[in-house]
């Protein structure tokens, strides 16, 4: 069913193909919105740019590294401290942000000298950090500064440092997804194979497409370690620069977010023969299947099953407590890319909520296809949404809660729709058995928080329920 039948009298005509409602028995290809195209100018898209996808999604979770933007200070400042990919390196990568702070005169006369000075200054200021990544921006790309040549000069002069260069300016693709691709390929071309690791297990993996949002990576690697698996590297949450140079020695690539990191897995398979296994750390069912698949690959299914049995016994009763109270609640599932299909079916199956709308900011057609296949009939699917469409959808669908990012989340709050941060989480991690219960608890608290009842209703006429057990889990 096309979006205009959803009573969108004022929508931009080109947008009609970007929003559809899932019909009964409808063939999915005709119900799919168009995806991964250039944003229509004037729609005030919620997307990020290709620089952001390369740097702020994939590059900067690396923990023992100075990350420099070669461009105007706003490019790096914009997202400083808004990300929550923590690390066990005292969060160095979150505490500091570095930029060459290009000004108009640098655009006219070039900024290579400025860049070289900045690199040296940053290394001098942090003598314990010997690794660096540098990101091109639209400004430095347009004037043609040769970042790779400057990086090489510094490496020749300071033999104890190593520098990675990412040429992914903002305009290098329709959205952040273009930047994911660029940095995946740049990393394997420049760095993989330049360090030889110490192998300590018969079962060695790279954990790929995992960014340690509020500790997701640490929860998952704990399961892997309990199975006797060596995690050679994580691409890139809580990841170490030199570990990621040794990715070529793993026996298996365990891939979590395929949208952002399937490219490097596919190249590792072609160049080094390492197989790719896609997994899902969200939800008891998908996570159990994932641990079993990894166990099966290495012939250690019994170890996987022992962990699953222990964790399910520990956490299932708490999940069921929330399921009882979340049953039938209406949810708009509005993340960026792959969380759409990681979550659509399993929040329904395991938490009992009804997904009334899905959207993706930058997902490809396949992401939307998987997402829409996994949600209920009648759900409204939107590609590359904007504020007006989100508002209209919320007014019409009347969700009990939406899962999305900060910007649309603030809009939702203004019309009294509770919002849960799908990107950075509220009280994560959300991966792992324990994490899934935390997610359920955050949904429960978002819906049942007394603050919404005070804001949304006339409390003199309405009783505030007293039997909610508010925030009692753990």
Among 260, 288, 357, 404, the residue binding ligand CFM under the rule CB under 6 A is 260
Applying CB under 6 A, the span of 256-264, 281-289, 346-354, 388-396 interacting with ligand CFM comes to 256-264
Q: How far apart are CA 165 and CA 135, in angstroms?
A: 6
When the beta carbons of 176 and 445 are compared against ligand CFM, the nearer one is 176
Give the residue nearest to ligand CFM (CB). 336
Among 70, 259, 370, 431, the residue binding ligand CFM under the rule CB under 6 A is 259
Per-residue 3-state assignment (H helix, E strand, C coil) for 151-173 = HHHHHHHCCCCEEEEECCCCCCC
Among 43, 133, 176, 233, the residue binding ligand CFM under the rule CB under 6 A is 176
Q: How far is the CB of 124 from ligand CFM (least distance, A)?
A: 32
When the beta carbons of 72 and 337 are compared against ligand CFM, the nearer one is 337
Interior/surface letters 413-449, b for 16+ CB within 10 angstroms, e for the rest: eeeebbbbbbbebbebbbbbbbbbbbbbbbbbbbbbe
- For ligand CFM, the binding residues in 189-228 under the rule CB under 6 A are 211, 213
Q: Rounded to the nearest 10 degrees, what angle do helices 176-190 and 258-272 cross at?
A: 30
Sign of the torsion formed by the C-alpha atoms of 235, 236, 238 and 242: positive
Applying CB under 6 A, the span of 39-47, 70-78, 270-278, 330-338 interacting with ligand CFM comes to 330-338
Q: How far apart are CA 443 and CA 447, in angstroms?
A: 6
Does residue 347 have a cis peptide bond before it, meaning omega lies within 30 degrees of 0?
A: no
**CB distance 380 to 21 below 8 Å:** yes
Q: How far is the CB of 335 from ligand CFM (least distance, A)?
A: 4
When the beta carbons of 118 and 133 are compared against ligand CFM, the nearer one is 133
Q: How far is the CB of 83 from ligand CFM (least distance, A)?
A: 8
DSSP H helical segments within 352-471, as ranges? Answer: 365-373, 387-397, 406-414, 432-448, 450-456
- For ligand CFM, the binding residues in 48-67 under the rule CB under 6 A are 53, 57
Q: How far apart are CA 17 and CA 14, in angstroms?
A: 6
Among 170, 174, 215, 336, the residue binding ligand CFM under the rule CB under 6 A is 336
What is the residue whose two structure tokens read 């790309």? 141
Pairing of strands 252-255, 230-236: unpaired
Q: How far is the CB of 210 from ligand CFM (least distance, A)?
A: 8
Among 255, 257, 279, 394, the residue binding ligand CFM under the rule CB under 6 A is 257
Among 338, 357, 386, 390, the residue binding ligand CFM under the rule CB under 6 A is 338
Applying CB under 6 A, the span of 240-248, 271-279, 308-316, 335-343 interacting with ligand CFM comes to 335-343
Q: How far is the CB of 328 from ligand CFM (least distance, A)?
A: 25
Residue in 406, 354, 362, 405 with CA at minimum distance from that of residue 380? 354
Distances from the Cα of 185 to the Cα of 244, 261, 293, 302, angstroms: 13, 10, 27, 36
Rule CB under 6 A: say whether 329 interacts with ligand CFM: no
Applying CB under 6 A, the span of 93-101, 311-319, 337-345, 374-382 interacting with ligand CFM comes to 337-345
Rule CB under 6 A: say whether 420 interacts with ligand CFM: no
When the beta carbons of 143 and 277 are compared against ligand CFM, the nearer one is 277
Compute the radius of gyration of the chain from its Cα atoms: 23
What is the residue whose two structure tokens read 């890139």? 236
Applying CB under 6 A, the span of 122-130, 149-157, 159-167, 334-342 interacting with ligand CFM comes to 334-342
- Number of C-beta neighbours around residue 103 at 10 A: 13
Q: How far is the CB of 361 from ligand CFM (least distance, A)?
A: 6
Rule CB under 6 A: say whether 19 interacts with ligand CFM: no
- Which positions touch ligand CFM (CB under 6 A)? 53, 57, 176, 211, 213, 257, 259-260, 335-339, 423
């Amino acid at each position: 069913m096309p979006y205009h039948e959803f009573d969108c009298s004022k929508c931009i005509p080109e947008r009609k193909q970007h929003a559809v409602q899932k019909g009964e028995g409808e063939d999915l290809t005709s119900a799919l919105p168009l995806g991964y195209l250039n944003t229509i100018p004037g729609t005030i898209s919620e997307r990020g740019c290709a620089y952001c996808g390369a740097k702020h999604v994939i590059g900067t979770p690396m923990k023992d590294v100075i990350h420099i933007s070669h461009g105007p200070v706003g490019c790096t400042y914009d997202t400083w401290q808004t990300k929550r990919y923590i690390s066990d390196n005292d969060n160095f990568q979150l505490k500091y942000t570095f930029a060459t702070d290009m000004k108009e005169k640098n655009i006219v006369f070039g900024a290579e000298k400025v860049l070289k000075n900045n690199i040296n200054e940053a290394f001098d200021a942090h003598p314990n950090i010997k690794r660096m990544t540098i990101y091109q921006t639209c400004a430095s790309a347009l004037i043609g500064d040769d970042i790779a040549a400057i990086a090489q000069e510094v490496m020749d002069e300071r033999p104890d440092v190593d520098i990675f260069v990412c040429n992914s300016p903002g305009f290098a693709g329709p959205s952040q997804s273009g930047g994911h691709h660029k940095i995946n390929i740049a990393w394997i071309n420049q760095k993989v194979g330049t360090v030889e690791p110490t192998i300590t297990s018969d079962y060695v993996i790279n954990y790929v497409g995992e960014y340690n949002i509020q500790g997701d990576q640490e929860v998952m690697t704990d399961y892997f370690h309990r199975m006797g698996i060596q995690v050679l590297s994580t691409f890139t949450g809580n990841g170490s620069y030199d570990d990621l140079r040794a990715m070529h020695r793993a026996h298996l690539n365990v891939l979590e977010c395929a949208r952002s990191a399937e490219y490097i897995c596919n190249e590792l398979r072609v160049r080094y023969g390492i197989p790719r296994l896609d997994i899902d750390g969200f939800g008891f069912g998908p996570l159990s299947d994932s641990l079993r698949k990894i166990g099966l690959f290495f012939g250690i299914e019994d170890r996987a099953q022992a962990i699953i049995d222990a964790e399910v016994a520990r956490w299932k009763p708490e999940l069921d407590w929330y399921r009882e109270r979340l049953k039938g609640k209406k949810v708009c599932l509005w993340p960026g890319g792959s969380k759409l299909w990681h979550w659509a079916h399993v929040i329904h199956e395991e938490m009992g909520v009804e997904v009334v709308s899905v959207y993706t900011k930058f997902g490809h057609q396949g992401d939307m296809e998987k997402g829409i296949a996994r949600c209920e009939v009648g759900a409204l699917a939107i590609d590359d949404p904007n504020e007006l469409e989100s508002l209209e959808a919320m007014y019409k669908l009347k969700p009990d809660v939406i899962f999305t990012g900060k910007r649309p989340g603030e809009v939702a709050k203004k019309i009294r729709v509770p919002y849960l941060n799908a990107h950075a989480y509220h009280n994560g991690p959300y991966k792992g058995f324990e994490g899934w219960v935390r997610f359920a608890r955050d949904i429960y608290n978002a819906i049942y928080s007394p603050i919404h009842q005070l804001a949304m209703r006339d409390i003199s006429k309405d009783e505030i329920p007293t039997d909610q057990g508010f925030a009692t889990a753990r």
